[in-house]
């Protein structure tokens, strides 16, 4: 079975300065994300790894509870970590090189489901800031086609049926683990969350939304 690989970033480590510093990006990608990939591959190489055969990374997220019990938690942690970070990198871009506000069909959907972009951001910020400990904040498409905002602990994500309370297809996510921001923002998580909006790649979010329909 093919093993997973650490993806290259679509920009250099300094591209998101001054909002996310290059040192954090380097460590986050080459150390934290790489560890999730390596640990997922260890599961695949292990005794129960054959149960993952033929599954895409997204399909692994959706089928956690069908896996052998002994690998469910490692797959949530490492498979989720790989999926979440691989998506996260694509959701950001250098200022001036991508749209900094919603575009395409998701623009109208945000207005329809939240009232305005500002209202959506306020709800997202609250979910991100309110996540106790480690986790993520998400904007997702539900089975009813509506956008919703949620937060998940550790490396869980909205694809994980039987693991999270609210299922959907994520189109935007923010890592609120301390390793994602501590070097620059220390305990000022709300400042990191606010800074994130300066580097969101709305072109990619629009693609994700259209693909989720």
State pLDDT tens for residues 183-208. 999 999 999 999 999 999 999 999 99
State pLDDT tens for residues 32-52. 999 999 999 999 999 999 999
Residue 123 has pLDDT above 70, yes or no: yes
Q: For residue 194, give the nearest of 202, 203, 207, 185 by alpha carbon.
A: 185
**Mean of per-residue pLDDT scores for the chain:** 97
Where does the chain have alpha helices with state H?
A: 22-27, 34-45, 57-62, 69-74, 80-90, 105-114, 117-129, 182-185, 189-196, 202-212
Q: Residue 175 is inside which H or E element, if any?
A: strand 169-175
Mean pLDDT over residues 109-125, rounded? 98
What's the confidence (pLDDT) of residue 116? 98
Residue 92: DSSP 8-state: B
Buried b (16+ CB within 10 A) or exposed e, 115-134: eeeeebbebbbebbeebeee
Residue 54 has pLDDT above 90, yes or no: no
Residue 1 has pLDDT above 60, yes or no: no
Number of Cα atoms under 13 Å in the Cβ half of residue 120 = 23
Q: What is the pTM of this model?
A: 0.97
More confident residue, 78 or 54: 78
């Amino acid at each position: 079975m093919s093993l997973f690989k650490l993806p290259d970033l679509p920009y250099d480590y300094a591209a998101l300065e001054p909002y996310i510093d290059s040192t954090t990006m380097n460590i986050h990608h080459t150390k934290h994300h790489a560890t999730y990939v390596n640990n997922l591959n260890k599961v695949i190489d292990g005794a129960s790894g054959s149960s993952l055969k033929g599954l895409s990374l997204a399909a692994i997220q959706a089928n956690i509870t069908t896996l052998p019990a002994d690998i469910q938690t490692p797959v949530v942690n490492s498979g989720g970590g790989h999926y979440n970070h691989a998506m996260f990198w694509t959701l950001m871009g250098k200022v001036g090189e991508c749209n900094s506000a919603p575009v395409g069909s998701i623009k109208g959907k945000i207005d329809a489901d939240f009232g305005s972009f500002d209202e959506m951001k306020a709800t997202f910020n609250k979910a991100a800031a309110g996540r106790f400990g480690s986790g993520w904040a998400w904007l997702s498409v539900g089975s009813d086609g509506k956008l919703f905002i949620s937060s998940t602990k550790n490396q869980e994500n909205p694809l994980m049926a039987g693991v999270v309370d609210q299922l959907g297809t994520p189109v935007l996510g923010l890592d609120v683990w301390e390793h994602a921001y501590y070097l620059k923002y220390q305990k000022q998580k709300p400042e990191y969350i606010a800074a994130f909006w300066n580097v969101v790649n709305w072109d990619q979010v629009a693609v994700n939304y259209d693909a989720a329909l």
